[in-house]
């Protein structure tokens, strides 16, 4: 049942994001659509909060920081991203691949998946306490020359040792676009 909810939620979010990209791809390029979306790469830092608890020792929700980066794949609507969530007893290192959908000038939403590697399995991080698959949904925008703000949610699937609970972490930060 839990897996069915996960699949249904993922399909619903993905269909909204992908249909936005398809709709914009069907319009003839204009001055407005040609400047939509954020291009380029960035590296940033900010806050990160685990908002779930696995129900056992070393499962507590953790508040800490994050370092995130984006490498935009040239001529494709995808990016390779990396995140490190730190501040608990373990650090979660999360490589992901995302689909990026432009929604406004210098602004994207993104959805994707990856895997969380814990530096010390069994110890609390913002994204559970064991290695686990991760889904992510977020937004990013260049708000000034080379200054990016970003925010996302990361959902660790079965991310707690000794529990079948999922983990949810929320991130926000500021980055330098290059």
pLDDT tens digit string along 5-38?
A: 444 444 444 444 444 444 444 444 444 545 689 9
pTM tops 0.75, yes or no: yes
| Strand duo 147-156 + 92-104: pairing | unpaired
Q: Report the pLDDT value the prediction gives residue 130, as an integer from 0 to 100.
A: 94
Going 119 to 122 to 123 to 127, the CA torsion angle's sign is positive
What range defines the domain where residue 78 resides? 2-177
Nearest to 102 by CA among 153, 139, 64: 139
Residue 49, pLDDT above cutoff 60:
yes
CATH number of the domain encompassing residue 50: 2.40.160.20
Number of domains composing the chain = 1
Nearest to 163 by CA among 57, 17, 91: 57
CB atoms within 10 A of CB 81: 26
Cβ atoms 29, 104 nearer than 8 A = no
């Amino acid at each position: 049942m839990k897996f069915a909810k996960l699949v249904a939620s993922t399909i619903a979010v993905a269909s909204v994001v992908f249909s936005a990209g398809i709709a914009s791809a069907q319009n003839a390029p204009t001055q407005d659509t040609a400047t939509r979306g954020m291009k380029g790469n960035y590296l940033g830092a900010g806050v990160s909060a685990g908002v779930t608890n696995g129900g056992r020792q070393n499962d507590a929700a953790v508040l800490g920081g994050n370092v995130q980066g984006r490498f935009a794949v040239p001529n494709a609507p995808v990016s390779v991203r990396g995140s490190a969530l730190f501040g608990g007893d373990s650090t979660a290192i999360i490589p992901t691949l995302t689909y990026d959908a432009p929604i406004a000038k210098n602004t994207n939403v993104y959805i994707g998946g990856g895997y969380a590697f814990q530096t010390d399995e069994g110890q609390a991080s913002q994204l559970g306490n064991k290695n686990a698959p991760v889904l992510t949904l977020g937004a990013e925008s260049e708000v000034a020359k080379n200054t990016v703000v970003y925010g996302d949610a990361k959902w660790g699937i079965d991310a707690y040792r000794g529990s079948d609970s999922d983990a949810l972490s929320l991130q926000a930060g500021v980055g330098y676009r290059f």
